């Protein structure tokens, strides 16, 4: 059996949990436990305690990308677990910035990791950097380095990278996701899908020959898709015969309502406190 326990999300799925803009999930697979992202760090300590989820025995920490709302809780986690291996794309420490004001005179705000690689290593972390899709444990794949069709890639123009004295559009090159082979069928777990959920699903089909997914869980970034792109996502989910669409974090309220209306009983909000068993 494999399980996905949502620890951090914008929404809550049980009354003793707290919500925040961020994402984290505890994943059990083949007898081992992994932490996927850490949220901003505001609610993770509370939710871990409320749910009674011990972190000391986790096998590794997996990072979907370097934004603060996915890595902010990492210092606290390392304080709880002691030295741990962190698996991420090597670009995870890029200087991610966001334009928070329409006034071009206002400098973008830093939204990357709370510490540098060296500072995390001083705290006891070790890093395994993965640039292309790789199996990190039997039936457990770290999905990254996939091709991106621009027509299927979210257009979040607020996100920029510092370059010299200026800034350039930030592709979030390190975007990573997870593919679990479970008794119910393949399960795709998304962090934020900055490279486009449809591009990720195309990659899964081409890399593994997978044409059916039991579930798609996590942040889909559909909030930055036009209505016709959301419909294309629905069509793709149907083509993969997805039995459970569980969305989190950056999916967006409007996109979530469209998905809920279409998928009905197959739709679920993967909110903080939600647990999925496969």
Give the pLDDT score at 224. Answer: 87
Give the pLDDT score at 165. Answer: 81
Give the pLDDT score at 102. Answer: 84
| Whether this model's pTM surpasses 0.75 | yes
Give the pLDDT score at 150. Answer: 93
**What does the pLDDT average to over 135-161?**
94
Give the pLDDT score at 91. Answer: 98
Give the pLDDT score at 211. Answer: 97
pLDDT tens, 226-239?
A: 899 999 999 999 99
pLDDT tens, 156-197?
A: 889 999 888 888 999 999 999 999 999 999 999 999 999 999
- Integer angstrom CA distances of residue 72 from 21, 25, 41, 59, 86: 11, 14, 5, 20, 14
N-to-C CA span, the chain: 6
Give the pLDDT score at 11. Answer: 96
Percent of the chain clearing pLDDT 90 (strictly above): 90
Judged against a pLDDT cut of 90, whether residue 49 lies above it is answered with yes
Average pLDDT, the chain: 96
Give the DSSP per-residue string, 146-185: ----GGGS---TTEEEEETTEEEE---TT-EEEEEEETTE
Q: Give the C-alpha separation, 142 to 159, whole Å.
A: 24
pLDDT tens, 51-92?
A: 999 898 999 999 999 999 999 999 999 999 999 999 999 999
Instruction: pLDDT band for 206, please (50, 70, 90 cuts).
Output: very high
pLDDT tens, 267-276?
A: 999 999 999 9
Please state the domain extents for the chain: 3-277
Q: For 242-264, what is the HEC assignment?
A: CCEEEEEHHHCHHHHHHHHHHHH
Instruction: pLDDT band for 103, please (50, 70, 90 cuts).
Output: confident
Structurally, at CATH architecture level, domain 3-277 sits in: 4-Layer Sandwich (3.60)
- Integer angstrom CA distances of residue 170 from 86, 174, 192: 23, 11, 14
Give the pLDDT score at 32. Answer: 97
Beta-strand runs (E) in 37-163: 60-62, 85-88, 96-98, 109-110, 126-129, 134-137, 140-144, 159-163
Judged against a pLDDT cut of 90, whether residue 125 lies above it is answered with yes
């Amino acid at each position: 059996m494999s399980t996905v326990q949502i620890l951090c999300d914008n929404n809550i799925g049980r009354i003793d949990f707290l919500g925040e803009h961020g994402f984290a999930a505890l994943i059990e697979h083949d007898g081992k436990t992994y932490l996927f992202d850490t949220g901003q760090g505001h609610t993770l300590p509370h939710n871990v305690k409320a749910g009674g989820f011990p972190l000391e025995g986790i096998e590794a920490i997996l990072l979907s990308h370097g934004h603060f709302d996915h890595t902010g809780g990492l210092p606290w986690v390392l304080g709880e677990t002691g030295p741990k291996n962190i698996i991420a794309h090597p670009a995870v420490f890029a200087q991610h910035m966001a334009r928070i004001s329409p006034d071009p005179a206002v400098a973008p705000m830093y939204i990357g990791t709370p510490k540098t690689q060296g500072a995390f290593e001083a705290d006891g972390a070790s890093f395994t950097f993965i640039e292309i899709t790789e199996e990190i444990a039997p039936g457990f794949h770290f999905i990254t380095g996939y091709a991106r069709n621009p027509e299927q890639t979210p257009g979040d123009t607020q996100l920029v990278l510092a370059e010299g004295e200026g800034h350039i559009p930030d592709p979030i090159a390190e975007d990573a996701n997870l593919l679990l082979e479970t008794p119910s069928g393949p399960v795709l777990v998304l962090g934020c899908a900055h490279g486009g959920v449809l591009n990720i699903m195309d990659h899964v089909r081409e890399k593994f020959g997978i044409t059916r997914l039991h579930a798609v869980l996590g942040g889909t970034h559909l909030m930055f898709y036009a209505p016709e792109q959301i419909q294309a996502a629905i069509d793709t989910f149907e083509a993969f015969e997805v039995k459970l669409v569980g969305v989190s974090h950056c999916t967006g309220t409007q996109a979530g309502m469209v998905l809920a209306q279409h998928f009905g009983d197959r739709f679920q909000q993967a909110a903080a406190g939600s647990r999925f068993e496969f």
